[in-house]
Structure 1
Amino acid sequence: MTQWQSHVDRGVYPPRTYLLLDDLVTESQRGVELVAEMLEDITVDAPALQAEEDWEGVSIVCRCNCLLYDETEHCFKFWYACEDPRIAQNPESVYRRWAYATSPDGLNWQRPSLGLVEHGGSTANNIMKFTNVGPNVALLQNVVKDDRDPDPSRRYKSIGLDRHAMQDGEITWTGPDGEDEWYERMGRHIGCGLFVGFSPDGLSWTMKKGWAASGALIADGSVLHGFDARIGKWVMWQRPRILPKFRTVAMSLSDDFENWTYPVDIFAPDETDVPGIQFDCFASIEAPTRGYIGLVTISGYAGGGFQASNDLPELCYSRDGRAWQRIGYRPILDAAPDSWKNGPCALPLQPIVRGDEIFVFYYGKNRGKTWGEPTTDGKDVTRSALGLAKGRRDRWAGMRPKHFAGELTTRLVSIAHDELHVNADASDGSLRIEILDYENRPIEGFTLDDCDPITGDRLGHAVTWHGGADLKPIIGTARRQPKVGRGLKFRFVMEKAALFSFSC
């Protein structure tokens, strides 16, 4: 018998988790409000990884989705660009070096000696190799390990808005009046657009010739979400080119990672924002049960426009990836004006959930515009590096009383499991739960007075009524008809407590 067949035969399935940031969960509420949780910056005093080796120049650049956790090798893997002024000052080049690092915990990073590319007379470095294209700007902005692909040479996939010397058979674009900006600047034709790459090991890369989208239509900042098994497609957040440059978010889909739909606009600043802000970067993770959790970087959130160098992430949520709601309209990462990222600038990468922790790595930068040049206050050199912030599982946002107490009632929930668990912080108060039928009538034995008050701070409190957590008497099993049914409502009454999610 398979494990799933045992669920079918018992009528008890794995629990589903419902986040309170999804307003479809709530039918009514009184005296409570949804509050986005602040992430804890683990790297306030020093970056998790910064430029230290000669080939890394002055800065590490990582603005999209180039860091993942490998479940097979049990480590974080990071592909990053090295910003070296010695390269940037070469009029024949617009290129960066790309390097690779690993970490067991996200804080202690190792630079493996790959032996692939010579630098300073030695190959003892962590620089990666591109087999059919020269050094490039952004091919590895987004990297994913795809264990579903039967072709081992395509185990790792990359996509980014790249610039490289144009190869035979490639095409490029010109300015609106036909001028070739790249040729005028560099004396050669440049391929500029969204390009795809493949690698068997994540270290030696082959670029697929021909762009997936023209750089005349797509601006920098395309961020890969990944493969969403729920819809059977690859999902990517793109930035349609708007001149003069204005940054918004659009959605693009693909069946095969190589052919992408033209992006559909989904997200832009609105009338509540201060003038001049833009959406600089967008990172996302799939929410449990349904939808996407997003971190949108608001550039210029404190005023002064896009170049004001105040870039911090806000929390947002969508059930379908197309219609988004911003939660709280405020950053969820502290500006930390006295830290190394005192721009303040922190652009998040895709969140990674490991056990009970949420890892949010970010690209941090100090007050300055051009790497290697003096900062705006003249006290330092402009640099960027990798930072790390953390949160607790499913605690993106919570319902909290506006004053002392409040309550909310859910819509009908289809109960899969035989217990109710809540992710809640009641360390300074209490939380009680009442079960209602579809007509809002309390279920005998599961009323508010029957509920054992929940106290303390836990990610998975088991809710009990008179000491018992078993819901089977009212929801039934595969072999016994339910007394009430599987469609129930929950009434949560909280006093100085926060409710983040519930599972059932």
Structure 2
Amino acid sequence: MQQTRRAFLQTGTLLAATLPLSQLKLTAAAAPAEAPPAGGGREVLFSPGFIAERKNAYDRFEPLIKPAQNPVMVAEMPWEGRGGINWGSVLRSPVDGKYRFFYNTDFPGAQEGAVLVDNSMQGKSHYVVCYAESDDGLTWRRPALNLHFQDQFPGNNIVFTWPSYYNDASTVIEDRHDRDPARRFKMSMFHIDTKDRDLTGVCLFVSPDGLRWTFTGTVLPAQDASSIWQDQRTGHYYAFLKDRRDGNRSRMLMHSADFKNWSEPSWIVTPGHGDSAGTNFYNQSAFTLCGRTLGFLNLYDLTTQTTWIELLESGDNLNWQRMPSQPRLLAPGAPGTYDCGGAYVGLAEPILAGDEYRYYYYASPDRHDAADTADGSGPRPCLAYATFRKNRLVGQQTEHDGYFVTLPFKCPGGRLFLNFIGREPVTVSVKRPGYGDDYERFTQADCLPVTGDTLRGEITWKTGARLDELKGKYIRLKVAGKNIVAYSAMFEV
């Protein structure tokens, strides 16, 4: 019987609806690249992990801003139960610009039995995946798909159902690398299956349109609150998984070049020196900014039952570090607000809209354990978003006269632009690696100072030196100035 169930899930589609496929130009997936190019050149983010030397300079972080429009989508349909709207992925189509939102919810309908998951009994509700869409990312509509439970809930937008004791944290990505149109969308979802225990874990699915999903047969070994991410620079896949280390929720990583064959899991974030006994790492997402991989990390404090969001970074997508000062970039709101209980990570990348990024997140009015005892009569989890200015999330700042120096990297040549804020003169010199000093004609004294508040302040040298002279050589950038904030540099070739 178990073999029949597994065979059905692997070969049969779990949904029965069809939408026209958008025409996309797809490219083959590739292995991770070292120092991937950005727009034909290279970007350098001045994040803590890429800084080698400093004087009177410090890490700079910009807290995410919660707009007044929040929340932008709340549970209001009969099939959106006491769990509200949670663990969502908001995507923006590269073809038509439409926003798509895949989210979890649960509706009344007791299932037989219950299991203990994450300190609470689960199995009394039916967890499903729903789909909503928007033209501007602020006003959302639920299309009447009627793919499931249409008799019980006419006009519903449910796109995935898998009867079980527990489904959680479905993450959806739109894959622009896979040549197979039947695999354009990919989803991960934690699942507990008491009929076939081999199906318990983070299960992977594919779809041509985000509505008809097919189980791939792959189950990754993990607990709930997991997610997947695809690096669009390379097409490589990464699964951020939850397990416990010494009883505390911690983060593991698995990765794959084809979504079929995966590495074995390894720890990437665990409680360490300076963390309290109540520190738990609940979930994680990832994205790229100015050529570097960053991530939003959920911190869950067992003593206060609240969650907030920190920033992570990685130089290779495999080894991850928390920021040294561990700043809270997105914290719970004031008592009685839509996210006073916790700010949980959104499972998709931030979306660039004009001159700012929008980061959609899962907002809860209840503290962690209180959510399991709420009667559903009050506010429920919802979709909210926070913003940060384009390419201005993390960087370096000087106080008085100061400077900082980057790690070495290969010079791509071309023209150099600086993303900075400075009323006083700012200079950039190009240094040799190791114990080396400045390259001749690229010294601080040679640099023509710049001032202002700009994403693209061009850096030149009065010697007439051109970076093409250093192309292919290892260099370090030294940025100097008085009371400046610098976020990134960009080479255009």
Indicate which of 310, 314, 318 corresponds to 1:318. 314
Indicate which of 36, 39, 45 corresponds to 2:64. 39
Deviations 1:220-253 (A, max 9, x none): 12210225654x6321111235575x31111112
Indicate which of 391, 396, 402 corresponds to 2:393. 396
Q: Is the 8 A contact 1:432 1:493 kept in 2?
A: yes
Deviations 1:461-490 (A, max 9, x none): 222445x9xx7x4444xxxxx489854443
2:42 corresponds in structure 1 to: 16
SS in 2 for 1:460: strand
Q: Is the 8 A contact 2:111 2:126 kept in 1?
A: no
How is 1:106-145 mapped onto 2 (pairs within 5 angstroms)?
106-119=137-150, 123-130=154-161, 133-134=162-163, 137-138=166-167, 141-145=170-174
2:66 aligned with 1:71, yes or no? Answer: no
- 2:349 alignment partner AA: P
How is 1:35-114 mapped onto 2 (pairs within 5 angstroms)?
35-42=60-67, 46-63=70-87, 66-84=89-107, 86-87=108-109, 94-114=125-145
Q: Is the 8 A contact 1:248 1:280 kept in 2?
A: yes
Change (3 A) 1:346 1:15: same
Q: Is the 8 A contact 1:62 1:386 kept in 2?
A: yes
How is 1:330-479 mapped onto 2 (pairs within 5 angstroms)?
330-338=327-335, 339-354=337-352, 356-368=355-367, 369=369, 371=371, 373-374=373-374, 381=378, 383-401=380-398, 403-426=399-422, 428-436=423-431, 439-441=436-438, 443-444=440-441, 446-465=442-461, 473-476=465-468
2:204 corresponds in structure 1 to: 196
Instruction: Show structure 2 runs of 5+ residues with no match.
Output: 1-38, 114-122
**Cα distance in 1 between the residues matched to 2:320 and 2:152:** 51
1:492 corresponds in structure 2 to: 479
- 1:240 alignment partner AA: D
Q: How far off is 1:406 after superposition?
A: 0.9
SS in 1 for 2:109: helix
TM-score scaled to structure 1, two decimals?
0.77
SS in 2 for 1:124: coil
2:219 corresponds in structure 1 to: 212
Q: How far off is 1:126 after superposition?
A: 1.4
**Cα distance in 2 between the residues matched to 1:152 and 1:442:** 50
2:250 corresponds in structure 1 to: 248
SS in 2 for 1:386: strand
**Cα distance in 2 between the residues matched to 1:143 and 1:483:** 42
- 1:297 alignment partner AA: N
Change (3 A) 1:410 1:261: closer
Indicate which of 235, 238, 245 corresponds to 1:235. 238
SS in 2 for 1:55: coil
Q: How far off is 1:391 after superposition?
A: 1.3
Indicate which of 282, 285, 308 corresponds to 2:287. 285
Change (3 A) 1:206 1:139: farther
Change (3 A) 1:372 1:485: closer
Q: How far off is 1:297 after superposition?
A: 0.9
**Cα distance in 2 between the residues matched to 1:136 and 1:73:** 37
**Cα distance in 1 between the residues matched to 2:288 and 2:99:** 19
Q: How far off is 1:413 after superposition?
A: 4.1
Q: How far off is 1:90 after superposition?
A: 7.2
- 1:237 alignment partner AA: F
Instruction: Show structure 1 runs of 5+ residues with no match.
Output: 1-12, 174-190, 477-481
Q: How far off is 1:17 after superposition?
A: 0.6
Q: Is the 8 A contact 1:253 1:260 kept in 2?
A: yes
Larger Rg: 1
Deviations 1:419-471 (A, max 9, x none): 11011122x54422234456314644x544454433222222222445x9xx7
TM-score scaled to structure 2, two decimals?
0.79
Q: Is the 8 A contact 1:371 1:382 kept in 2?
A: no
2:298 corresponds in structure 1 to: 297
Indicate which of 189, 212, 230 corresponds to 1:160. 189
- 1:388 alignment partner AA: Y
- 2:284 alignment partner AA: F
Q: How far off is 1:317 after superposition?
A: 1.1
2:225 aligned with 1:221, yes or no? Answer: yes
Deviations 1:301-356 (A, max 9, x none): xxx53xx2221111121112343222121211143224311114333333224264
Greater fraction strand: 2
Q: How far off is 1:363 after superposition?
A: 0.7
**Cα distance in 1 between the residues matched to 2:472 and 2:147:** 63
- 1:100 alignment partner AA: Y
Q: Is the 8 A contact 1:309 1:345 kept in 2?
A: no
Q: Share of identical aligned residues, percent?
A: 23
- 1:367 alignment partner AA: D
- 1:40 alignment partner AA: I
